[in-house]
A and B are shown apart, each in its own frame.
Chain A
Amino acid sequence: MDNQFFLDAGIPPLHFGSSLSSSLSPVMEIQSQDCFPTDYGLQYESALSSMVSSPASSNGNNMSSESLMMRELIGKLGSVGNSGEILHHSQPMLAAASSSCYSTPLNSPPKLNLPVPKSMGLKSGVADFSADPGFAERAAKFSCFGSRSFNGRRTQFGPKDNGEIAACRFNPPPVNVKLPRVSSSPAMKTLAANCREESTVSEQNPDPGFKGSNSRKRKAVPKAKTNETSPSPSPNSSKVTKLNEASNEKRCKLSKTNGNENGSGKAEEEDANGSNTKAPEPPKDYIHVRARRGQATDSHSLAERVRREKISERMKLLQNLVPGCNKVTGKALMLDEIINYVQSLQRQVEFLSMKLASVNTSLDFNVESLVSKDVFHSNTLQNPIFPVNSSAFLGHQSQQNPPLNSNIANGTMSQCSVDHLDSAISPKLNTHLPQTQINRFIKTVPQNPIFPYPSFCEGDLETLVQMGFGHNQSQEMALHSQNFQGSNQVSDMKVEL
């Protein structure tokens, strides 16, 4: 699509003349009406000169990086391979580019993040003119300018450019002839990429033709991490930006923007020829990623970044869920906590099922009325406490394990041994079973200076009272010592489990 725009724009320059000035003036900070005379050559030169003249004023930070990029571009000018191909269209292309730049009604200044001139965009065109003395410099600056405008253009294409596009489409034959060559040029592709990158958060359905080559880079998850709200531009931009599949990678490589935009996803491109006149497409499956400033821009790192962001987002959720994770930073430690928590929960299930097995000799659970009554009763009463209890319990356990054992398996052993002791000893000890939890707490407390012991014990005592056990702490201590003695003896019992 960009190719077409360029070419189309190139053909009737006069069409753009008026629109140029009107569209550009509000948008471009560089602009002055002087920049856009109807004459192409003048347009060109004046645009470049305006760019040259007011670089710093336009975008403070951007320009500094842009200037760096410009120097890079100039350095890379020699490496452009397709210059021979492009010679034919270099002039109209550049003109088209310029005019199409100008024609972008940049309604969304925030979108115009004025990305670093990723435009290798006009590289090929630039290379053609390298013969001219000093053209390289002008071209580089122009490409900078062009990229900016393109970025704006992409978002704004729908409403205003459609008419222009339609106007431009009246000369298909010569355009189409040039199209393949133009489309193959990396410059055009990158230009389109630049334009595309601007439309941050649109999700597009892949064209069937694209699926094969780009399936690797495309994320079909319709996850919209879209912080930008540009509903109208996105379908329009999808219309606009259609390029060949092969150019995807280069586009992604060259996309650099400021970190302001938090939209995530990969820019997608659809076939250039098809959808100019189509209606806005149905909600897309792609996620658009914007590379942050100063970061690598190849598709791999973009994908990596998206993946990392997803993971970190979910880890935050986990942090809220797992007690004691708030103080911990870092993936490894958090995973540690999570592992300990899951293990302790699983152990608790085992322990409770053993306890139930010991209490209920026949698995009858016929006391359904009692159960239902008690469950709901306990649900209301104990649940506010149980979470505290369990979380405290588990918090203790989780903190217990690292000091006790670097090996998690050992922790399991110590816990299971206590479980076995409790369950093996007759139901008489059932009343003491809750105390084993407390005992574990007590066991862990000395090793865990962080945890507020007194408050914890109070909470635990409350649960005990709820459950009808009024044992004081002295009894707990006695049982605790008993358990300790017993745990050594019953370590072999763990084997059964």
Chain B
Amino acid sequence: MPLSSLKPKMRPHSSLKQEFLKKWIMGLQRCSFSKKNMSILERKKAIKFSADIAMASARNGTTCWSRSLISNASKEGSDIHVVEQILGSESDRPAVENKVPTRRASVCKKIVKRSCRIRRRRRRRKCVASAPSSIAKHLVRKRREVLKSLIPGGEFMNEICLIEETLDYITSLRVQVDVMRSLASASVRASE
């Protein structure tokens, strides 16, 4: 993907924030309908969950991490109504997209497992290489694996996709943090 195409993904923060906030509050309202008395941890989970889904849906299925996040969320039966609420009118599209990632996900998982198995076998046969380049590669590989575990749906991406998704994920996380922080401070101020 050319660089110029990456930039449109990073929408102006303010519009993204408003969208995120809107969807998040929608989801929270839906959450509060279901249970009246929730412990603090439950509340926290609900808040975080709806925030994540709102963030992912703000991407409208353009990025891999958002799609996998939504598909993972919609797998759990209990909270699926929240997902639907947030996704709202787009429920048709995510439904289709959810199926695709899962199918792809299962295929990709198999491929990844197979390749990991092969890689492990190769590593066992090979003795540890002492060349600096291989050490560097080893380091990078480890870090890449960690990054893959961090990004939702990251296990299925190749390196290029991973970095792109990381870019997008970081921007959306930032937006999420900003909005949550301002909301928290506003509520704190309101409660005083």
Q: Which 5 A-B residue pairs are closest in the complex by CB-CB distance? A: A374-B186, A357-B43, A357-B44, A335-B143, A378-B182
In the complex, are the beta carbons of A375 and B21 less than 8 A apart? Answer: yes
In the complex the two chains form, is B31's CB within 8 Å of A318's CB? no
**Other-chain contact of A468, B28, B140, B189 (Cβ < 8 Å):** B189
A30→B108 CA distance, assembly (Å): 56
- The 8 A CB mask of B157-192 against A (1 = contact, 0 = none) is 001100110110111011011111111111111111
- B177 and A379 contacting across the interface, CB-CB below 8 Å: no
A327: shortest Cβ distance to chain B, in Å? 18
Q: Is B6 close to A, CB under 8 A? A: yes
In the assembled complex, A349 has its CB within 8 A of some CB on chain B:
yes
Q: How far is the CB of B65 from chain A (nearest CB, A)?
A: 11
Partner of A353, one of B25, B48, B144, B167: B48
Measured in the bound complex, the distance between the Cα atoms of B25 and A17 in whole Å is: 79
Q: In the complex, which residue of chain B has the Cβ closest to the Cβ of A222?
A: B2
Instruction: From A346, A355, A467, give the contact of B189 (CB < 8 A).
Output: A467
B146 at the interface (CB under 8 A from A): yes
- Contact assessment for B2 and A346 in the assembled complex, using a CB-CB cutoff below 8 Å: no
Whether B163 and A224, one on each chain, are in contact in the complex, defined by CB atoms closer than 8 angstroms, is no
Interface of B, helix, strand, loop or mixed by DSSP:
helix
Q: How far is the CB of A128 from chain B (nearest CB, A)?
A: 44
The docked-state distance in angstroms from the alpha carbon of A310 to that of B5 is 13
Query: Which residues of chain A are within 8 angstroms of B182 by Cβ–Cβ distance?
Result: 374-375, 378-379, 382-383, 386
Task: Give chain A nearest CB distance to B33 CB in angstroms.
Answer: 10
Collect the chain A residues with CB atoms within 8 Å of residue B159's CB: 307, 311
A365 at interface by CB-CB < 8 Å = yes
Residues on A with C-beta less than 8 A from B31 are 363
Chain B residues contacting A310 (CB-CB under 8 Å) are 160
Cβ-closest chain B residue relative to A434: B185
Q: Are the CB atoms of A336 and B143 closer together than 8 Å?
A: yes
Please, what's the 1-or-0 string for B1-35, where 1 marks a CB less than 8 Å from any CB in chain A? 11100100000011001000100010011011000
Instruction: Write the chain A residue with the least CB distance to B189.
Output: A468
Q: Would you give the 0/1 interface string for A382-418, flagging 1 where the beta carbon is closer than 8 Å to chain B?
A: 1100110010000000000000000010000000000
Residues of B within 8 A of A387 (CB): 174, 178
In the assembly, what is the distance between CA of A456 and CA of B25, in Å? 33
Look across to chain A and name the residue whose beta carbon is closest to the beta carbon of B143. Answer: A335
Query: A480 vs B139: C-alpha distance in the bound complex, in angstroms?
Result: 36
Asked if A314 and B164 sit within 8 Å, CB to CB, the answer is: yes
Cβ-based interface call for B87 (8 A): no
Tell me which residues from 60 to 99 in chain B have a Cβ below 8 Å from any Cβ of chain A. Answer: none
The answer to whether B38 has its CB under 8 Å from any CB of chain A is: yes
Cα distance A404–B140 in the bound complex, in angstroms:
21
Contact check, B43 vs A360: say whether CB atoms are below 8 A apart. Answer: yes
* Cβ contact of B176, chosen from A349, A361, A467, cutoff 8 A: A349
Interface residues of B in 24-58 (CB under 8 A from A): 25, 28-29, 31-32, 38, 40-41, 43-48, 51-52
Residue A223 lies at the interface, judged by CB distance under 8 Å to chain B: yes
A221-B1, A342-B150, A365-B25 are known; give 11 further A-B pairs, CB within 8 A.
Answer: A318-B163, A322-B170, A339-B147, A346-B173, A356-B47, A357-B41, A359-B184, A360-B187, A379-B17, A379-B182, A497-B41
B20 smallest CB distance to A (angstroms): 11
Asked whether, in the complex, the Cβ of A313 is within 8 Å of the Cβ of B3, the reply is yes
Question: Contact at B47–A357, with CB atoms within 8 Å?
Answer: yes
Bound form: Cα–Cα A31–B146 in Å? 60
Bound form: Cα–Cα A365–B1 in Å? 41
A223 to B151 CA separation, bound complex (whole angstroms): 25
Q: Is B131 an interface residue (CB 8 A)?
A: no
> Is B136's CB within 8 Å of the partner chain A?
yes
- Residues of A with C-beta under 8 A to B188: 359, 430-431, 433, 467
A357 B40 Cβ-Cβ under 8 A: yes
**In the complex, what residues of B have CB within 8 A of residue A223's CB?**
1-2
Q: Write out the residue numbers on chain B whose beta carbons fall within 8 Å of the beta carbon of A307.
A: 159-160
Q: Which of A44-97 contact B (CB under 8 A)?
A: none
Q: In the docked arrangement, what's the CA distance between A382 and B178, Å?
A: 9
**Given the complex of chains A and B, what is the CA–CA distance between A361 and B44 in angstroms?**
10
> Does A169 count as interface, using CB distance less than 8 angstroms?
no
Q: In the complex the two chains form, what is the Cα distance from A467 to B47 in whole Å?
A: 22
Minimum CB–CB distance for A347 against chain B, Å: 10
| CB-based contact B47/A345 at 8 Å | no
